[in-house]
Amino acid sequence: MEFLAITRINELLMNAVDMKGKKILIVEDDFFVSDIYQTKFSHEGCMVSVANDGEDALKLLREGLVPDIILLDIIMPNMDGREFLEAMKNLPNADSFPVLVLSNLSQKEDIDGTKALGAKDYIVKSHLTPTEVFNRVVEFLAKGKV
C-alpha cells in the first residue's frame, strides 16, 4: 500500500512540472555518462547543454545560458565541481539556477561539502538509473514551484 501511495505522489509531481523546453546544463567530463543523461533529458523534451568541466560550464553561463537546473559532477579536469560552485558565486545571476550534484562520491563529507558551497541536492549517480535521476529532477523542480 505504501508503494502505491509513493507511486501516486510521484505521478502527481511528474504532472506538476512540464519538462518540455526546460533547460538542463549537464557538467560531466565522461562522454558516455553525459551522453546517457543528454539522451534521457532530450527524449523527455528538455533542451540540454553539456559542458566537459567547470570552466566550460562557466563560459556557457557567462555567454547567457540560463538553465532551469544544473547537473554537476564533482571529479573533473581543469575545474572540478567544487571549484565551479565557488566560481559560480561570482556570477550576477547565480541564484537563478539551482545545482544538483550528480557524482559517484558518496561520503557524508562530500555531500555536506558541496551543499555548503551552494548545491541544492546531491545524487549518487551509481545508485540511480537515468530515469530515476530524471524523476528526481522533476521532483526538485516541482518542489521549487510550490
Residues facing 35 on adjacent strands:
none
Number of compact structural domains in the chain: 1
| CA atoms of 69 and 28, how far apart (whole Å) | 14
Which CATH number covers residue 102?
A: 3.40.50.2300
| Averaged pLDDT, 63-76 | 95
| CA atoms of 135 and 48, how far apart (whole Å) | 16
In this predicted model, what pLDDT tens digit does every residue of 86-143 receive, in sequence order? 999 899 888 888 999 999 999 999 999 999 999 999 999 899 999 999 999 998 888 8
Q: Which domain holds residue 100?
A: 2-145
What is the reported pTM? 0.86
| CA atoms of 50 and 128, how far apart (whole Å) | 20
| CA atoms of 132 and 81, how far apart (whole Å) | 22
The count of other CB atoms within 10 Å of the CB of residue 2 is: 6
Here the cell at position 38 is: 543528454
